[in-house]
């Protein structure tokens, strides 16, 4: 197969591993810098151009779209879709996953366990939102934050109110969430490929920190998933329409609750913690999907 990996950087662990796994299986891989692609949007002959030439017809595209380039990145992925190229994650699914509120709304409709979450636009509704969620302690989050930045724990209703007022004053979109205290600063990252959890790790926050992000000093370890946790991760990926994603789960006293679904999950932490060849499993999955995709097109 001829595969394109859309990524900004070939030094990233995940990109390098995907290239390695694809080449090991005899595929030809091009690393394409997403921001250097441009589009020829002509009737019946859509093309993606790159450094002055039209890109060839790929059998598969693996989008690794960073959160800071979602708009342009999803436009590039959509253009490949217009050329009937198989994309592991579709542009629509990537856009959906980038907005925490939209993701939670979709997951809630499917009955997936979630931390109780509120959203409001006007400061005069803050007290009622806090009351609805059950009062402090509460977690307040920016809708488009990543790596734990923009996630705040408010220990009292007063603190929650002033943090929300401050964010709203800055015109930032925020949501308020029940704090899952019993998670003890840990969460579970489930890596889903197709309809399977291929690897999972537990991330434990650093001492004195409630955010378990590895970027915030969290540490990763192996974890055995319960059947309910596995099913939650698989249903979440399906609800979001993502073939490749990281589903982050908190272990609450009422069972697994989903915090977010990441459409460009990093491979370094999870391959390190589990010793699994996740990149290889991604390429194996793509091989099967491309055969099915081509059959459909005949």
Binding interface with ligand ADP (CB under 6 A): 115, 139, 141, 145-149, 151, 177-180, 183, 187, 205, 210-213, 248, 250, 259-260
CA distance 39 to 251: 44
Least separation in angstroms between CB 17 and ligand ADP: 22
Q: Which is nearer to ligand ADP, 212 or 243 (CB)?
A: 212
Least separation in angstroms between CB 52 and ligand ADP: 37
Q: Which is nearer to ligand ADP, 16 or 100 (CB)?
A: 100
Q: Which is nearer to ligand ADP, 217 or 241 (CB)?
A: 217
Asked if 48 and 80 count as a contact pair (C-beta separation under 8 A), the reply is: yes
Q: Which is nearer to ligand ADP, 143 or 168 (CB)?
A: 143
Least separation in angstroms between CB 184 and ligand ADP: 9
User: 3-class DSSP state for residue 198?
Assistant: strand
Q: Which residue, 188, 217, 182, 218, is CA-closest to 202?
A: 188
Q: Which residue, 86, 126, 33, is CA-closest to 294?
A: 86
CA dihedral of residues 27, 54, 95, 245 (deg, nearest 10): 10
Q: Is 45 exposed, middle or buried (0-12, 13-18, 19+ CB in 10 A)?
A: exposed
Least separation in angstroms between CB 262 and ligand ADP: 8
Q: Which is nearer to ligand ADP, 170 or 298 (CB)?
A: 170
Least separation in angstroms between CB 149 and ligand ADP: 6
Please state whether the peptide bond connecting residue 256 to the residue before it is cis, i.e. omega within 30 degrees of 0: no
Asked if 49 and 40 count as a contact pair (C-beta separation under 8 A), the reply is: yes
């Amino acid at each position: 197969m001829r595969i394109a990996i859309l990524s900004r950087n070939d030094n990233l662990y995940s990109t390098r591993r995907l290239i390695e796994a694809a080449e090991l299986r005899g595929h030809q891989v091009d690393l394409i810098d997403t921001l250097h692609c441009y589009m020829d949007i002509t009737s019946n002959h859509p093309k993606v151009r790159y450094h002055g030439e039209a890109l060839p017809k790929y059998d598969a595209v693996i989008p690794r779209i960073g959160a800071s380039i979602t708009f342009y990145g999803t436009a590039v992925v959509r253009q490949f879709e217009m050329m009937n190229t198989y994309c592991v994650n579709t542009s629509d699914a990537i856009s959906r996953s980038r907005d925490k509120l939209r993701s939670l709304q979709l997951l809630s409709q499917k009955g997936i366990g979630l931390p109780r979450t509120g959203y409001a636009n006007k400061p005069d509704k803050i007290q009622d939102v806090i009351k609805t969620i059950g009062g402090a302690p509460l977690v307040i989050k920016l809708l488009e934050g990543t790596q734990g930045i923009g996630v705040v724990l408010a220990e009292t209703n007063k603190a929650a109110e002033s943090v929300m007022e401050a964010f709203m004053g800055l015109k930032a979109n925020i949501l308020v969430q029940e704090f899952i205290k019993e998670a003890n600063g840990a969460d579970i990252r489930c890596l889903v490929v197709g309809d399977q959890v291929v690897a999972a790790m537990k991330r434990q926050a650093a001492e004195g920190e409630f955010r378990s992000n590895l970027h915030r000093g969290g540490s990763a370890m192996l974890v055995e998933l319960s059947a309910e946790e596995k099913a939650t991760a698989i249903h979440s990926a399906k609800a979001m329409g993502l073939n490749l994603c990281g589903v982050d789960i908190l272990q609450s006293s009422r069972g697994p609750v989903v915090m977010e679904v990441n459409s460009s999950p990093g491979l370094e932490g999870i391959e390190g913690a589990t010793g699994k060849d996740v990149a290889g499993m991604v390429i194996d999955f793509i091989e099967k999907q491309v055969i099915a995709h081509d059959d459909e097109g005949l």
